[in-house]
Amino acid sequence: MRNTVEMAEASRSSGKLYFSAADGSVWRVHDCVFERGGFRRVATASARATSRVFVAANGLKRSPRFTRGESRERTESRLEAQLQKAGYPGSEKFDAKGRDAR
């Protein structure tokens, strides 16, 4: 199987990035901002991105948040580390009106 950098290069014309994790799972990778209760895609490796969303073929999503100043590079080691620390985002849209006031 090709490494992530080769996969990124091969996918550049279509704008899609796929990552093969160490466990053999394959994920589509999106860089996103969270606004209006949901994720919105931005250009891959964009400094505007606040999260990276990994999506498996079965629809499972994992999403780590970027920390301030964290690199958005797409190397195999960086993507593997991000996938390992990623949580599972909720499947419902965020509704601020439904939350208790503090």
Digit-coded pLDDT (tens) for 18-59: 888 888 888 999 999 988 878 889 988 888 899 999 999 888
Average pLDDT, integer, range 58-84: 90
Contact, 70 vs 44, CB < 8 A? no
66-83: buried (b, 16+ CB within 10 Å) or exposed (e) per residue? eeeeeebebebebbeebb
**Could you give the CA distance from residue 8 to residue 79 in angstroms, rounded to a whole number?**
12
Name the pairing type of β-strands 38-42 and 61-62: unpaired
Task: Report residue 100 as tokens.
Answer: 């208790």
Confidence of residue 7 (pLDDT cuts 50, 70, 90): very low
pTM of the model: 0.72
Q: 24: burial class by Cβ within 10 Å (0-12, 13-18, 19+)?
A: exposed
